[in-house]
Amino acid sequence: MPKLRVGLLFGGRSVEHEVSIASATSILGALDPARYDVQLLAVDPEGRWHLSSRALPPESAVSGREVLLPAVPGGGALVPADGGDGILTQLDVIFPIIHGRGGEDGGIQGLLELADVPYVGAGVLSSAAQMDKDVAKRLLQAAGLPVVPWVTYRAPELMPERIDAALDRALTQIGLPAFVKPANSGSSVGIARASDRATLRAALLDAVRYDTKVLVEQGVDAREIEVAVLGNDEPEASVPGEIVPHDHEFYDYEAKYADEETELLVPAPLSPEESERLRTLALEAYRVLDGQGMARVDFLVDRETGDVRINELNSLPGFTEVSMYPRLWEASGLPYPALIDRLIELALERHATRSKLETTYRRG
């Protein structure tokens, strides 16, 4: 039986470039060479694709022949970017693990749809909705699911002549403490906790460097609980896990990737009833945002009242072997290599189902 040709797509034009390379390194190590023929597709910080060597690059050093994936159905064919003749390679499925803007916001997914190649993870709409924290909250709230109160600002509202009005609105409607977040960013980049008017102002001005839309959310003294979801039309939820970021006000970039003191409690210390409640909410949120393939659903559980709020969904979570998403599935009985296999199977299943849909209207 021929090997499945898998394109592992990583890097990208986002502040999560190095995180993407770390995820791709772990995935590459878990792909069975007897089953898969893996092609490394490195996207440099300028957005150009490279057919890389068998070794992943350190940090942002991306190399290899520059290639293109034509935005027309072509059997996953990669062609030379310099206009040279011929097809360099053809892929059966692509595993995109580009975190952040351009990778999990529907951009890459749109290209892969046009190229008619199967790919791991959520589709265009779901990727875009999960990436945009403001849109996701609106959809979840409209479905009756619990979210943290928030207000949203566009970049013009944070100009010097208007920012005082924006601060007044946040202090009146949300209060302090509050969390400020770029609407479209990941790995906690650009997120800050504000405890007074001055720190709120500074946080807004910093967040707008990363996105043209910024959220201010109500600060909650909460436990941070996460649930991994896997599947297409019949998704499953993992056991919950808890993040305990020692010496950090919240689970920021440093706590995620640099602080060895951060604890990941898997499974989370919860009662069976609490665990089941979170798993049920995770599946409901996944369906509301049209999740496919995978997502990590992040919750805030109030330490005093026990009230649960959905913080956000992440359609392409961190994928190193110590990242929360694969650890949650490991604790749920699905080891890392088997998880990778299942995600690829789901990608092929979804593509096969969509390929059967009619694309031509015939009268009569």
pLDDT 10s digits, 315-362: 999 999 889 999 999 999 999 999 999 999 999 999 999 999 998 888
Mean pLDDT of 232-254: 80
Predicted local distance difference test score (pLDDT) of residue 249: 61
Predicted local distance difference test score (pLDDT) of residue 56: 66
Mean pLDDT of 235-259: 71
Query: Rounded to whole angstroms, how far apart are CA atoms 208 and 180?
Result: 10
Could you list the beta-strand ranges (E) of 110-206: 150-154, 178-182, 192-194
How open is the CA angle 122-111-101, to the nearest 5 degrees? 65
pLDDT confidence tier of residue 363, bands split at 50, 70 and 90: confident
Whether residue 177 is preceded by a cis peptide bond, meaning omega within 30 degrees of 0, is yes
Pairing, β 213-218 against β 241-244: unpaired
Residue 313's nearest CA partner among 284, 341, 335 is 284
Regarding pTM above 0.85, the answer is: yes
Average per-residue pLDDT for the chain: 92
Residue 251 pLDDT exceeds 60: no
Structural contact between residues 37 and 4, judged by C-beta atoms closer than 8 angstroms: yes
Residue 93 pLDDT exceeds 70: yes
Tokens of 100: 């952040």
Structural contact between residues 324 and 241, judged by C-beta atoms closer than 8 angstroms: yes
Query: Rounded to whole angstroms, how far apart are CA atoms 228 and 189?
Result: 21
DSSP assignment letter at 88 = S
Mean pLDDT of 79-99: 92
Query: Rounded to whole angstroms, how far apart are CA atoms 184 and 105?
Result: 8
Report residue 293: phi and psi, to 5°.
80, -80
16-30, 51-65, 90-104 — which is least confidently predicted? Answer: 51-65
> Which residues on adjacent β-strands are paired with residue 39?
7
Q: Tell me the per-residue pLDDT of 176-216, one tens digit each, with 9 for 90 and over.
A: 999 999 999 765 678 999 999 999 999 999 999 999 999 99
Q: Tell me the per-residue pLDDT of 111-160, one tens digit each, with 9 for 90 and over.
A: 999 999 999 999 999 999 999 999 999 999 999 999 999 999 999 999 99
Tokens of 101: 């803007």
Residue 253 pLDDT exceeds 60: no
Residue 69 pLDDT exceeds 70: yes
Query: Rounded to whole angstroms, how far apart are CA atoms 24 and 16?
Result: 12
Which domains does the chain possess?
A: 4-119 (3.40.50.20), 149-218 (3.30.1490.20), 222-353 (3.30.470.20)
